[in-house]
Every structure is written in structure tokens, then in C-alpha cells.
Amino acid sequence: MNGEYEVRESTRAKRLGLTVHPDGRVVITKPARTSLKAMETFVEKHTQWIADTQEKFRKRLERQKKSGIELVALPRPRKGSAMYKEARKAARILVTERLEHFNQAYGFRYGTLSIRDQKTRWGSCSAAGNLSFNYRIVFLPTELQDYVVVHELCHTKEHNHSEKFWAQVGRTLPNHTQLRKELRTRYST
């Protein structure tokens, strides 16, 4: 690692966190009471992982350029701004409506629904069936919004990526393989 990284101090963080973004940026999330020395030790311990992850992203970008696949830059409004608040509100409405629509076919039970500013995921499903979605889902094309919603909804029944899971997804999205590929190659969270 070249030693350059951004530090975000958080009063809510309980432990040090590390994120490598597709553009190679490294962000360290540091609890307010953690010393700089402890943070530097943490970064040093993860130097190889950071370098490997940056290289993986670099190779992926290179492959995308060679294949002619163009990355789509989605808006990333500043936290707390009017656009950010509006996007979160719109995402909650969108996800609620699409969950209700698709669950007519599935009839699955799920817990709470939350809309978050997730850094590395479009959505997640807890072991208890609680669903969480990245607010930036609202900026995706409709068919990819539906893919993310169906993907997480099916995790309430199958908590893995087994053949049974993909069969569930395929019940309402037979083209899920193409949608997954497009989401993974053209859009980053």
C-alpha cells in the first residue's frame, strides 16, 4: 500500500473498519477514542489485503475497458443534504412497493425493512429475515432495482446462493443471470 488513505472518525463505530473502493481509495473508519497508533497498527496489519483488493479492482477495471463495458456513475449525494434525504425517502417507497408486488408470487415472511447508506452492498437479509437496502437503489434502472429486491426477498427463504435460491429468484426473474452480471460489472455501490 502506498500509505495514502482517508480517515473517518465516528462516534458510532465500535471498532476500526477498512474499506477499499473500486477506484482504489482506502477509507479507515476509526472510533473516536481509538488512538492514531492503534489505527496505524491496524492498517499495517491489513497492508497485503489492501494491496490485493486494489489489484483486484484494477484488473476488473482493465477487463471492463477491454470488453467495452462502460461503468455507470450513480449520484452520491452528501449525507444530510436535501437530495440525500429525498433519495432515502424515495428508496423506501420504491422498495416497499416492489417487495409487496413480488411477494404476491412468493408469500415469504420477512421482518423489518431498513434503508441505509451501505458502502459495499445493494442489499442484505439478516438471519431473522430483516431486509436492508442501499438507498442508492433508487438510481438504478428499474430492472436492476427489481433484481436487488427479489434477490433479498428470496434470501428470507434460502440464506445462501444455492441452486434452490437461484430457482426461487428465477420464478419471477428468469433473466436474473444477465441482470446480476450487469449490476456487478456496470454499477458500484
Give the H or E element holding residue 103. Answer: helix 82-106
Mapped onto helix, strand or coil, the DSSP state of residue 139 is: helix
pLDDT, tens digit only, all 189 positions of the chain = 446 888 888 888 888 988 887 778 888 988 988 998 999 999 999 999 999 988 988 887 777 677 666 777 788 888 888 999 999 999 999 999 999 999 999 999 999 999 999 888 999 999 999 999 999 999 999 999 999 999 999 999 999 999 999 999 999 999 999 999 999 888 877
Domain with CATH 3.30.2010.10 in the chain: 82-186
HSE-CB at 47 with a 13 A cutoff on CA atoms is: 8
User: Which residues fall within 8 angstroms of residue 12, CB to CB, at 6 or more apart?
Assistant: none
Domain 82-186 classification at class level: alpha beta
**Residue 1 confidence (pLDDT):** 47
Cα(44)–Cα(139) distance, integer angstroms: 36
**Residue 67 confidence (pLDDT):** 66
Cα distances from 92 to residues 62, 81, 128, 144, in angstroms, run: 35, 17, 20, 16
